[in-house]
Amino acid sequence: MGIIKRIKNEIAIVKERDPAIHNSMEVLLYPSFKVMLHYRLAHKLYNRKMYFLARYISQRAARKTGIEIHPGATIGEGLFIDHGNGVIIGETTIIGNNVTLYQGVTLGGTGKEHGKRHPTICDNVMISAGAKVLGSFTVGENSKIGAGSVVLEEVPPNCTVVGVPGRIVKRDNIAIPRDTMDQVHLPDPVKEDINRLQSANVQLLEKLEALEAQMAELKKNVK
């Protein structure tokens, strides 16, 4: 892809997914736009084994944008990093197409692995603010990672993950369209468990009260 087409593509991505954009000129100020142009150049240099120059460009971009992308990471088309300060993408990370990351996301390793030590993020995944995805596993396509979640194991396609550590919530294996990827109204399995326990507790109390009433009636009859 040529540089002009690349710039137009990055502008279109930012305008599509950020409602705060009013015109194309604003995109030129966005950290996501700047860091992706730097990354594409650094990644080419990295693949040519020009490691120092690749790291120089990536670190310069990190200082300017607050987003650190290792030049060795493999990133597809359509990555959007919204308010990207604090985003870190490790060397062996693989990111598919049309992925959205929010501020503070880490795609990192656990420190105990060698070789492929960072996650693989498939197409159309959304990772919300502050989430940490750590390890060399795959997050399946169309999945969502809730804000502040810590994901340490494989995520099947079409799932939502919330909590620390991350808990997988199935979405009936229905693909999630990118334009409806709400990062606020996510399932909460812990809350659901508590609600079920509360409901069961109410039912037990009602049965206990009914038994006590029957016992009281029996005592009256005996007398």
Full residue range of the structural domain in which residue 194 is found: 188-223
Query: Is residue 166 domain-shared with residue 98, that is, in the same domain?
Result: yes
Query: Is residue 25 domain-shared with residue 120, that is, in the same domain?
Result: yes
pLDDT confidence tier of residue 212, bands split at 50, 70 and 90: confident
Alpha-carbon distance of 28 to 50, in angstroms, equals 27
Alpha-carbon distance of 178 to 145, in angstroms, equals 14
Query: Is residue 212 domain-shared with residue 174, that is, in the same domain?
Result: no
Average pLDDT over residues 139-161: 92
Q: Do you find a cis peptide bond into 157, omega within 30 degrees of 0?
A: no
Where is mean pLDDT largest: 117-121, 176-180, 211-215?
117-121
Question: For the chain, what is the domain count?
Answer: 2
Write the pLDDT tens digit of every residue in 118-144.
Answer: 999 999 999 999 999 999 999 999 999
Query: Is residue 169 domain-shared with residue 193, that is, in the same domain?
Result: no
Q: For residue 198, what are its two tokens?
A: 């509360």
Query: Is residue 157 domain-shared with residue 101, that is, in the same domain?
Result: yes
Query: Is residue 64 domain-shared with residue 8, that is, in the same domain?
Result: yes
Residue 23 has pLDDT above 70, yes or no: yes
Q: Average pLDDT over the chain, rounded to whole?
A: 85
- Asked if 113 and 129 count as a contact pair (C-beta separation under 8 A), the reply is no
Residues 6+ positions from 189 with CB-CB distance below 8 Å:
162, 163, 167, 169
**How remote is the C-alpha of 76 from its chain's centroid?**
16
Query: Is residue 135 domain-shared with residue 208, that is, in the same domain?
Result: no
Residue 184 has pLDDT above 60, yes or no: no
pLDDT confidence tier of residue 182, bands split at 50, 70 and 90: low
Q: Are strands 88-89 and 159-162 parallel, antiparallel or unpaired?
A: unpaired
Encode the chain in three state secondary structure: CCHHHHHHHHHHHHHHHCCCCCCHHHHCCCHHHHHHHHHHHHHHHHHCCCHHHHHHHHHHHHHHHCCEECCCCEECCCCEEECCCCCEECCCCEECCCCEEECCCEEECCCCCCCCCCCEECCCCEECCCCEEECCCEECCCCEECCCCEECCCECCCEEEECCCCEEEECCCCCCCHHHCCCCCCCCHHHHHHHHHHHHHHHHHHHHHHHHHHHHHHHHHHC
**How remote is the C-alpha of 101 from its chain's centroid?**
6
Residue 4 has pLDDT above 90, yes or no: no
Alpha-carbon distance of 107 to 26, in angstroms, equals 28
- CATH number of the domain at 176, please: 2.160.10.10
- Give the lowest-confidence range in 51-55, 123-127, 191-195, 212-216: 191-195
Average pLDDT over residues 92-117: 90
What pLDDT is recorded for position 33? 86
**Total-model pTM:** 0.73
Best CA proximity match to 142, nearest among 173, 163, 120, 164 = 173
Q: Are strands 167-170 and 159-162 parallel, antiparallel or unpaired?
A: antiparallel
Write the pLDDT tens digit of every residue in 52-93.
Answer: 999 999 999 999 999 999 999 999 988 989 888 899 999 999
